[in-house]
Amino acid sequence: MAEEQQDIDTYYLESFQEGILKCDTRGTIVFMNRRLKDLFGLEEMTGQDITAFTKAMDANVPQEDHKLTKTIQAFRKGDVNGRQGKFLYVQGPRRLFSFYVSPVLDTAQTACYGYLLVFRECGEEEAADPQRREMISVVSHELRTPLTTLLGYVEMLMQYDISAENRRRYMEIIFAEGNRLSHLLEDVLDSERLESGGYNYHKTYVPLIELIHEVTERWNLKSSHLIEVDSEVEDVFIYADRFRMSQVFDNLISNAIKYSPGKPSVLIRIAEEAGYYIIEVTDYGIGIPAEMHARLFDKFYRAGHSGSRQIKGSGVGLYVVKKIATDHGGTISVTSEVGRGSTFRLRMPKPVHLD
């Protein structure tokens, strides 16, 4: 009779559209339904400690205050009577989930047999809310500094008798901060266009080496870094939108310069492999910890380790790079070592034929 009841319980839980996990009082997982595994791309974990599950989840939950390991531990210790909440899950497409955890009690509501965790995917409109809040937070933070600087220098120019030399220096600062604001707003607009499918690509056969030299020459005119190009190929073409690919190289070079303050150069290497051209942008700067690599191309994500805290940015540039590269059949990846620099590796497909 007990086995029959267990079969009924299992069938019932498998019919849920929510992801269900049960564990006993010791924290051993005794059941997880198929929906839970499908939602999060998990293998069967029955028999493992629940901490193995929560840590696997937390690796893809960016908000520290929604880490499931802490939540479940607090619940099992009796620090909270019940817990429910929402969290953003960033493996694959970014999705918002709600969850709750509750004890499994006997009919008298006195003895606890274990715990039940229930996960439900939120609708698209609800899922967009945290992303909108994230965008507002990032944009408002990044706007504040250049706006404060602009207003401060404009106020000094209006109220004080400034020498010609200082007036020119102040105007240069105002111009630079104005450009920074413009680039930030363009980044945000680009990210929104990408989300809504608003990019219209005008593809043609683009001379790759010529385009890269064109971009690097612009940077060499305005940057203290020397942008060097080392190419193993000549007179090659990619089938692409020239303007958008120029944007990709601009963003990669800008990122390399930003994260290698005080260093003299950035190297761009161009090579080929079966079916692809490889463009590597290497800096010799502060580097990026390995645990941050997986999220570098997420929208609004910025590497937040100690060496990068003073570096400004919207966290949109690499997201735009990845989207444009993907839309052209390419890929972008990164290798990096803290204190030694980073290399971003763009793979672009060779055209099948030329008209």
Q: Which residues on adjacent β-strands are paired with residue 72?
A: none
Q: Which residue reads 């498998």 in tokens?
A: 14
Residue in 227, 309, 240 with CA at minimum distance from that of residue 270? 227
Separation of alpha carbons 78 and 70, rounded Å? 12
What pLDDT sits at residue 333? 92
Where would I find the H helices in 160-227? 164-195, 208-222
Pairing mode of beta strands 112-121, 265-273: unpaired
What pLDDT sits at residue 305? 47
What pLDDT sits at residue 1? 43
Hey, what are 37's tokens?
Answer: 């595994």
What pLDDT sits at residue 266? 93
The reported pTM is: 0.54
Residues with Cβ within 8 Å of 166's Cβ and at least 6 positions away in sequence, in order, are none
What pLDDT sits at residue 310? 47
Hey, what are 172's tokens?
Answer: 């240069």
CA distances from 73 to 51, 65, 181 (A): 9, 14, 44
Residues with Cβ within 8 Å of 293's Cβ and at least 6 positions away in sequence, in order, are 334, 336
What pLDDT sits at residue 107? 60
Q: Which residue reads 């965790």 in tokens?
A: 117
Q: 87 with 120: CB under 8 angstroms?
A: no
Q: Which amino acid is at 179?
A: N
What pLDDT sits at residue 353? 62
Sign of CA dihedral 284, 286, 291, 295: negative
Separation of alpha carbons 153 and 329, rounded Å? 46
Residues with Cβ within 8 Å of 223's Cβ and at least 6 positions away in sequence, in order, are 257
Mean pLDDT for each consecutive 10-residue tract of the chain (355 residues)? 52 79 89 89 90 88 72 70 70 79 70 83 59 56 64 80 84 77 71 64 92 90 88 92 90 88 90 93 88 75 50 67 90 90 94 65
CB environment 97-120: b (16+ within 10 A), e (fewer): bebebebeeeeeeeeeebbbbbbb
What pLDDT sits at residue 132? 57
What pLDDT sits at residue 5? 47
What pLDDT sits at residue 176? 73
Residues 174, 133, 298, CA angle at the centre, nearest 5°? 80
